[in-house]
Every structure is written in C-alpha cells, then in structure tokens.
C-alpha cells in the first residue's frame, strides 16, 4: 500500500477532519479569467473601457487565443464584461449587475434550504446595526422618503391593494438600507427581502400581516425623526420578532393542514 492510500484509509478510520481528495487543476481559461478579474478590481481596466484584443492578451499571458476568448465568456457570464462583435467590437468592462448577483445568491440559498428561522436570525443580526448607520447618515430627503413610504403603505391597506401594501412595507427596509450609503447593506437587504417574500408566500398567499407592519414602521419612523436611535432599534427588533412569530404560526398551521389532507 502506498503512502497516499495509507493516509486515506487512516483519515477515514480515525474520523479526521482531513481527507485525501483529487486536486482540481484550473483550466487555462479560468486562470486568465481570474487574472483579468484581479486587474479590473485593481482599476487597471475601468468601467466602459475596452480590453486589449485577445491576441494582445494571449501574448501577455503566454496562452492561446482560445483560452482568452473563453475567459471573456466566463467574465461576460459573471456580468463583468460585455463582448460586442464587429469592427468596433471587443470586450468592454461592465459595472457588475446586482440583479445577476442577487439571483445567484437566491438560487444558492434556495438549494440549501433556507428556513424562516434562518431569515429571522440574519435580520436580527443585520438590521439593528444597519438602522443605526442609516440614522447617522440620514438626510431630510431620506426621512421624507420613509414618511412617503409609510403613507403609501397605509393608503394601499385602506384601499385593499394588498400586493401594493406588501411591496411598500418591504420597501421600508430597503430605504433604510439605502440611507446607509453602503452598497453592501443595500445588496444584502434586497436579497433578504426577495427570499422573505418567496419563503413567506408559500404559507401566506399574499404575505398578509394586516396593519402590523404599517403601525410598526410608523413607530420606528417616529423614533427616527426624534433622533432616538436606541428606541428605534428596540422597536425594529420587536417588529422583526413580531413578524417572525406570525409567520411561524402560519408555518405550523400550513404543516398541520397538509398532514390532515
């Protein structure tokens, strides 16, 4: 038995955290794509700028032109490049599309089986600190946007426009994220909201909490306008817990009805 076989058998029998696995050797095109990705991230190529031709890059990286073209396709799929044909064509650097990234994240989370409890934990960890940052950077225009959102939510509820009410109440949290001036908060919040809507809708057809989100948001807004960060955060946590409790009751009822049918 050779040393590799011995090591593999030992790690298996002893329950080691380490095991011998085949090492994946990246394709040349993947290596080129990673190098181009680094150069774009470092600002060597700006958004809107045309990359050198595949021939120039092949010479620079000492690879075949086919590997460079494949690298272009990889980066185009990831939303970092736009490849255009024709005399004025080429590979142009794009600003990453958050929609693509968000969709990929949602698919990964869906495949991994996101639960209501997972969403609850992430919201409790993320949103209170996000709110504090938002309050520190809030402008009069931001506060006006929050007020308008609450009023639109109220009007949608009173007029029976349920889907509009749902969209507006979720929008309240996205506005808070945008107030931080931090694109990562915005990206994460939009992804969480989309996952929440998809997850909650499975047991609640229109994700209906009646007036609860509207009244909670109005209370949070009052504390924001008064500059009371501690009370705003406390009410936000209460709001997240209240929504989670309501959803969990529906989940249990949904499971109970499925078992009876």
pLDDT in tens, 51-95: 999 999 999 999 999 999 999 998 988 788 999 988 888 999 988
Residues in the chain, total: 261
Q: Report the pLDDT averaged over residues 158-172.
A: 88
pTM of the predicted model over 0.85: no
Please give the share of the chain, as a percent, with pLDDT higher than 90.
Answer: 49
Q: Are 132 and 233 in contact (CB under 8 A)?
A: yes
pLDDT at 97 over 70: no
Q: Which domains does the chain have, with CATH numbers?
A: 24-93 (1.10.10.10), 99-260 (1.20.120.530)
At residue 131, does pLDDT exceed 70?
yes
pLDDT at 4 over 50: no
């Amino acid at each position: 038995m050779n040393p590799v076989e011995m090591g593999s058998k030992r790690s298996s029998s002893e329950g080691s955290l380490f095991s011998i696995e085949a090492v994946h050797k990246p394709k040349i095109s993947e290596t080129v794509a990673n190098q181009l990705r680094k150069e774009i991230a470092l600002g060597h190529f700006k958004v809107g700028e045309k990359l050198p031709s595949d021939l120039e890059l092949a010479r620079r990286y000492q690879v075949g032109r086919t590997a460079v073209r494949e690298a272009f396709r990889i980066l185009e799929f990831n939303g970092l490049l736009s490849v255009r044909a024709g005399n004025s064509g080429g590979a142009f650097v794009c600003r990453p599309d958050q929609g693509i990234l968000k969709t990929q994240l949602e698919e990964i989370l869906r495949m991994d089986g996101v639960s209501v409890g997972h969403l609850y934990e992430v919201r409790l960890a993320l949103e209170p600190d996000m709110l504090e940052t938002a309050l520190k950077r809030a402008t009069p225009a931001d506060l006006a946007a929050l007020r308008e959102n609450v009023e639109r939510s109220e009007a949608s509820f009173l007029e029976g426009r349920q889907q509009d009410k749902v969209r507006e109440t979720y929008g309240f949290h996205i506005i808070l994220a945008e107030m931080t001036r931090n694109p990562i908060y915005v990206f994460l919040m939009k992804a969480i909201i989309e996952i929440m809507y998809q997850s909650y809708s499975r047991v609640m057809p229109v994700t209906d909490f009646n007036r609860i989100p509207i009244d909670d948001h109005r209370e949070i807004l009052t504390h924001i306008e008064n500059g009371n960060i501690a009370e705003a955060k406390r009410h936000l946590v209460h709001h997240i817990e209240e929504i989670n409790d309501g959803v969990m009751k529906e989940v249990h009822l949904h499971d109970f009805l499925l078992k009876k049918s």
